[in-house]
Amino acid sequence: MKQTTTTDRTILFGTDGIRGHADHFPFDDYTVMRIGYAIALWAREKYAAEQPKLLIGMDTRISGPRIKQALADGLLKAGAVVVDGGVIPTPAVCNLITADKSFHAGVVISASHNPYFDNGIKVFDAQRCKLSKEDEERLVAVVNSGPLSHLFKAPFEELSKSGADIIEWPEAFSQYINNVLSHFPTPFLHGKKIIIDAANGATGICAEIMFKTLGATVVMLNNYPDGININAGCGALHPEGLQAAVSAQGADAGFAFDGDGDRIVAVSCDGSIKDGDDILFLLLSLPRYQPMDTLVGTVVSNQGLEVAIEQQGKRFVRTAVGDKYIAVAMEEANVLLGGENSGHVILRDYLLTGDGIFVAITLLQALTVSGNWEMRTFPKFPQTLVNIPVVQKKDLAQEPFASIIAAYQERLGSGRLLVRYSGTESLLRVMAEATTADCAQSVAQAVALALQEVLGSHS
């Protein structure tokens, strides 16, 4: 087992839990065990449960089984009941712990859309899926607490011993499928040909079964995970292969998921790629969403979506990037529909987190109602996104960063410039949006170059 002698480093939660290189801190076995122990203490405290019950799921990364075992060892040592759902999509864990009231929380071992050498730990609350800010702060405090660090000065071998075993739940997979299918009439997709890109991740078998049960002819792409090919040139981040397959095979639609299944990109029957902004707009054709007066997006949602929503007499609310912020805004405004252009789409009347498979099927319902299989949406403002690798995430509100950003925002005029750090990767993201593609591209690249120079030399 992998272990480290460094147990006093601070563990931080990013936009979507803890994420990083699977072979480095905090994903060594020793630290993961501490995290598991802390999660159990947090759940025990929150639910006043002597033995909190947690469901664990994971995607197809080669590091998943090792991290799962270390995490479970920590949970069990703290007295938790640990149920193993195996390889299942992230939203499946949320679905299952919400439906089964005996669960207090869920944990998913996944780095979502990241490459195989990364991994992550996502924690979900059975009451509302995404952790509240207070829950997250409390969990971070427990993970990094002095008493917990003192406890884990015991020999590693002793910590590996626990008085209980993991409970295997092989039916978790089929239960999730049944839960999703219960929302849809069968076989409403009879006669439709659907192509699915599973990103060599956790959605493959689930998606194929569900779409076939709903009557569709299904063609699967990238559905042979080997532990290291998850998200590799495929899935929601690389939908070009799906686009080509839909066009070549004359399919009615195609869907690409990311490694853990909470993100979706669609391809229309004419081969056009549709992102989360398009999907949000298309879902509005469903009768249950038409009465809504508000839609929730993020600061990177295309300005064209906002214009289109306002033309319908509706309000468009923007949040920070991250589906947890969207979920909070949706609850506060009592909104049923929200999402990110990256493909995290939340249907709050189903679940307060993104579920790529559920969203895909719901979108097919909308297309059936509207007949809009070309997935025509709205004119988009040209956007350019440039990613800059960074070693240290320095405060962009300080000089000289702030002046550089302000100068280029002035150059954009009525356009939008967004400069932010990724919450899940060591990247600085520069997004420029303008009335012309040339302007957006030139500004984004200039800002990226200018910031890269000072980030590399500024101390």
Q: How far is CA 355 from CA 164, 250, 252, 291, 404, in A?
A: 32, 26, 21, 23, 38
Mean confidence (pLDDT) of the chain: 91
In whole angstroms, what is the distance from residue 123 CA to residue 145 CA?
18
In whole angstroms, what is the distance from residue 115 CA to residue 92 CA?
21
Write out pLDDT tens, residues 71-120.
Answer: 999 999 999 999 999 999 999 999 999 999 999 999 999 999 999 999 99
What's the average model confidence in pLDDT over 427-452? 91
Write out pLDDT tens, residues 215-247.
Answer: 999 999 999 999 999 999 999 999 999 999 999
Q: Which two tokens stand for residue 209?
A: 């079964």
Per DSSP bridges, beta strands 264-267 and 273-274 are: antiparallel
**297: helix, strand or coil:** strand
Q: Considering the entire predicted model, what is its pTM?
A: 0.89
pLDDT band (50, 70, 90) for residue 149: low
Question: Is the per-residue pLDDT at 274 higher than 90?
Answer: yes
Domains of the chain: 18-170 (3.40.120.10), 183-370 (3.40.120.10), 383-457 (3.30.310.50)
Burial of 189-224, coded b for 16+ CB within 10 Å and e otherwise, reads: beebbbbbbbbbbbbbebbbbbbebbebbbbbbbbe
Nearest to 394 by CA among 383, 407, 405: 405
In whole angstroms, what is the distance from residue 359 CA to residue 342 CA?
14
* Active-site pick, 63, 112, 301, 342: 112
Which amino acid is residue 370, in one-letter code?
A: S
Q: Beta partners for 388?
A: 428
Identify the DSSP state of 63: T
Beta-carbon contacts of 334 under 8 Å, excluding residues fewer than 6 positions away, are none
**HSE (side-chain half, CA atoms, 13 Å) at 158:** 5
Nearest to 82 by CA among 56, 49, 108: 56
Q: Which two tokens stand for residue 206?
A: 């689930």
Nearest to 86 by CA among 101, 72, 100, 102: 72
**78: helix, strand or coil:** coil
Beta-carbon contacts of 126 under 8 Å, excluding residues fewer than 6 positions away, are 97, 98, 101, 103, 104, 105, 106
Write out pLDDT tens, residues 288-299.
Answer: 999 999 999 999
In whole angstroms, what is the distance from residue 211 CA to residue 214 CA?
5
pLDDT band (50, 70, 90) for residue 413: confident
Per DSSP bridges, beta strands 345-347 and 337-339 are: antiparallel
The CB density around residue 453, as the number of other CB atoms within 10 Å, is: 12
In whole angstroms, what is the distance from residue 418 CA to residue 420 CA?
6
Question: Is the per-residue pLDDT at 377 higher than 50?
Answer: yes
174 is catalytic: no
Q: What would you report as the CA-atom Rg of the chain, rounded to the nearest whole angstrom?
A: 22
The predicted structure's pLDDT at residue 163: 57
Beta-carbon contacts of 141 under 8 Å, excluding residues fewer than 6 positions away, are none
The predicted structure's pLDDT at residue 143: 82
> Residue 60: which H helix or E strand, with range?
none
Nearest to 84 by CA among 106, 104, 115: 106
Largest CA distance in the chain: 64
The predicted structure's pLDDT at residue 3: 40
End-to-end CA distance of the chain: 38
The predicted structure's pLDDT at residue 341: 94
Q: How far is CA 306 from CA 4, 210, 268, 376, in A?
A: 49, 33, 22, 16
**342: helix, strand or coil:** coil
Write out pLDDT tens, residues 286-327.
Answer: 999 999 999 999 999 999 999 999 999 999 999 998 888 999
